[in-house]
Copies of this chain bind each other. A is one copy, B any other.
Amino acid sequence: MKKLKLLSVFVLSFFLTYSQTEDSTFIRHIADYVLTYGNSYEDLRILTKQIGGRLSGSPQMYKAEQWGLKSLENVHPDKAWLQECMVPHWVRGAADEARASYMVPLKKEAKGKSVQKKLDVIALGNSFGSGKPLTGEVIEVNDFADLENKKDQLRNKIVFYNYPFNPRFVQTFLAYSDAVRYRGQGPSRAAKYGAKGVIIRSMSHSTDNNPHTGSTNYNDSFPKIPALAIGLRDADWLSKQLNSGKVEVTMNTHGYFRQDTLAHNIIAELSGSQNPNEFITIGGHLDSWDPAEGAHDDGAGVVQTIEVLRVFKALGYKPRHSIRFVLFANEENGGRGGAKYAEEAKAKGEKHLLALESDEGGFTPRGIAFTGTEAQYSKITAWQKLLCPYGACEIQTGGGGSDIGPLARVLNTPLSSYVPDSQRYFDIHHARNDVFENVNKRELELGAVNIAAFIYLVDKYGL
C-alpha cells in the first residue's frame, strides 16, 4: 500500500452530520484525550509486567488490589474504597506434566518399540491434582454422545475429549459457548463411568500448541478426578496416534484448595449531580489465570475502566448519575466479587440504571451489546452513529458479563458489554501468551473511548 486512496465514509459522515452537536463534540474530545494523552497502555504494562498473573488468593492478587486502589485514587474520584469478599483459593501446586507412551512398529519385528512423548499441558482451574503420577490408557471421545456410547469402556481409563472449536462460527465466542461444556462438565461426566483422569482439547483456533486452562466444575456425586488441557497440535497428534494403536498417558498434576481467603472489589465513584442515588457501574475483573499475565483477560478491562474515569476527570465531566468504576475480584474461578457487589447493592436498596463490563479482550472495537427492554435497545441503537466513527458500529443484543450478571438477577439491572473483535481472543485466552506484547496500544485505547462515549450517553439521556 503506497498511497492513500480512500477516505472513510464514516469519518466523513461523522464530521458532516454531527460536528455541530454537543454529543459528537464531547465524544471527539474523549477520543482526542485518550488517543493522545491516555495512560491505559502504561497502566497495563505495570499490571502485567510488574504484577503478572493474579489468581484469587495469590500474592499477586494482593499486589494487584493495592495497585488498583492507588491507580483509581490517583485519578481523584469523589470516593474510592475496598469492598470485602471471601474468595476461593485454588493453588496449582507445581508445574503440570504429562507424557504419552505408545508403540512404534519396527520394520522387521512384530512387537514394535515403546516411545514416549512429552505433552504440553496445563491442569484445569479448580481441579484436584493426581497426587502422584497417574498412568492410564487413553480413550478418545468426540463429544458427550460419544462418551455415552463408550461408557462401558471407560473404567480406569483416561478420557480424551477431542471436541473441536468450530471454525464456522464467525464470532469466536459462539464456538467457545459450544465447546466450553467439555471443560466444565467433562471430568465429572467421565468420572461417572469410572474414568480416572481427563484430557481436554483446548478451546482455541490458535496455530500454536499452547494449552488453555479455565475452570472446571465438579459434580459432587462423582470422584473429583484430575483433568488437564492440551494444545491443538498435541491434540491432533494424540488423536492420530490413537487411530493406529493404544496410547498410555501419565499425568501429574498438583491442584488443591486452601481455605477461602479475604479479597476485595476495588471501587471508585464519581457522585451524580442530579441523581446521586442512581448508579451506573462499569468494570472489569482484576483476577486472572496464573500461566500468563492476564493482559487481555482482563487487564484490558481493568485499565479501560480506570481510563474512563481518567478522561471524565480530565474533561471536567460532572455526571448526572453516580458512576462506579469497579475492579471485580474472583471472576475466573468463583464469581464471588460480582456476587458480593450485587448483594450489597440490594441490601442497601440501591437503584442501578445500567452496568457495563469489559471482559472480551483489548482488541479493536466492534460494538456494544445490551440486554434490557426493547424500548431501551431502540434508544441505544440510535446512538450507533455517534459511536461508529470510533469503531463500535454494531449495537448487539445479549450484553452482559460474569461480574455484572448478579446485578441483573437481584435488581433486574439492564446489562451491557463492550464488544471488541473476537478473532484473536481465543488464541490467548487462559494461555501463557496472554501477555502485554499481544495487546495493541490503539486498539486498547479505542475500547476506552467507546466505553466512555457510551456511558456518557447513558448518563445524559438515561435508558
Contact = CB atoms under 8 A, between A and B. Distances in A.
Q: How extensive is the interface on chain A, given as a class?
A: 35 or more
Q: Could you say which of A6, A297, A395, A396 has the most chain B C-beta atoms within 10 Å of its C-beta? A: A6
Q: Which 7 A-B pairs have the closest CB atoms?
A: A4-B177, A6-B398, A5-B400, A9-B396, A35-B167, A9-B397, A7-B398
B9 A402 contact: no
A446 B170 contact: yes
12 contacts: A1-B173, A1-B298, A1-B359, A1-B402, A6-B419, A8-B396, A11-B174, A12-B397, A35-B168, A170-B389, A423-B443, A423-B446
A28 B399 CA distance: 25
A180 interface: yes
Interface in A1-19: 1-12
A185 interface: no
B417 A440 contact: no
A399 B4 CA distance: 10
Contacts of A1: 173, 297-298, 359-361, 401-402, 425, 429
A442 interface: yes
Contacts of A423: 364, 440, 442-443, 446
A427 interface: yes
Contacts of A400: 5-6
Q: Which of A170, A207, A297 has the most CB of B within 10 A?
A: A170
A11 B11 CA distance: 26
A243 B31 CA distance: 30
B441 A397 contact: no
Interface string A438-460: 00111100100000000000000
A9 B6 CA distance: 29
Contacts of A390: 170
A397 B7 contact: yes
Nearest to A3: B402
Contacts of A174: 4, 7-8, 11
Task: Name the residue among A2, A32, A207, A360 with the largest chain B CB count within 10 angstroms.
Answer: A2
Contacts of A8: 171, 174, 369, 394, 396, 398
Contacts of A36: 167-168
A421 interface: yes
A405 B4 CA distance: 11
A24 to B, nearest CB: 13
